[in-house]
Amino acid sequence: MKDSAVLLITCPDQKGLVAAVSGELYRFGANIIHADQHQDHVEGLFFMRVEWSLRGDGDQPFDIQAFSAAFAPIADRYAMKWHLHVSAVRPRVAIFVSQHLHCLADLLHRHQMGELDCEIPLIISNHTNGEPLVRFHNIPFHHVPLTAANKEEGEATQFALLEAARIDLIVLARYMQILSPEFVRRYPSGVINVHHSFLPAFIGARPYHAAYKRGVKLIGATSHYVTEELDDGPIIEQDVARISHRDQVEDLIAKGRDLERVVLSRAVAWHLDRRILRYGNKTVIFD
């Protein structure tokens, strides 16, 4: 739904929340097109996502600035953490990639087909083999080599590129480098990674090799927000594929590529659609 707004809310669970939100939207003449909510009874928390049309009644557009100002005291009354997003403001996404290009190719194709509602002003890689693919899609490609000796300098170059492009979200499409704590702190809940295992199993490098040695019967892939602890951020999406004793490591890798593409694209799409609320080390994903 284009020309819409989304309100995301997290607050202590209590009576009157739905009425307070829907009542204020009604007072401003909003036509609600989607609403969803969730309660975490253990934590005593309430989560809500509301989307409505900005076209308003007749020829009168919905006044988003006036609504935001009027909603602020309501949010304070209920101790809400809230975020208001307008669909016309498209997020600006940077993709980081290393040598494996299958996730990058999938994201670029989905973006070209209109499945990912965002701008992609640049792609950064510590290798050069992805440049022809990126150039084909008419997106600037930046090669930033990274080694243990020059990591601080390399990340400084990345920061400059990201700031110049006004990036809102960073997607690690099989980017095989560990981000520094400073990097993660600069983009809280703003970096999505895909890991080629069903976390929390087989963290770190070469998980398919570890899964093969363990003799597992399922392999998986996980998309998650990046935190300072490796492969431990809030999980957004996961999927699995069944394997057997006949599968070799190469078979696991091949089957895993499809899982990686799917879970990463779903996570990015849900983030762009403002369907995710993060709390602690968990996420709520609204339909």
Best CA proximity match to 216, nearest among 232, 197, 193, 203: 197
Q: Rounded distance, CA 238 to CA 197, Å?
A: 9
Best CA proximity match to 189, nearest among 115, 282, 112: 282
Q: Rounded distance, CA 167 to CA 123, Å?
A: 11
Q: Is 215 exposed, middle or buried (0-12, 13-18, 19+ CB in 10 A)?
A: exposed
Strand partners, 93: 169
Q: Return the structure tokens found at 183.
A: 């990097």
Find the helix or strand (DSSP H, E) in which 238 lies. strand 235-242
CB 54 within 8 A of CB 84: no
Selecting among 231, 247, 273, 287, the annotated active-site residue is 231
Tally of residues, the chain: 287
CB 260 within 8 A of CB 198: no
231 an active-site residue? yes
Buried b / exposed e over 187-196, threshold 16 CB at 10 Å, is bebbbbbbbb
Catalytic residue annotation: 231
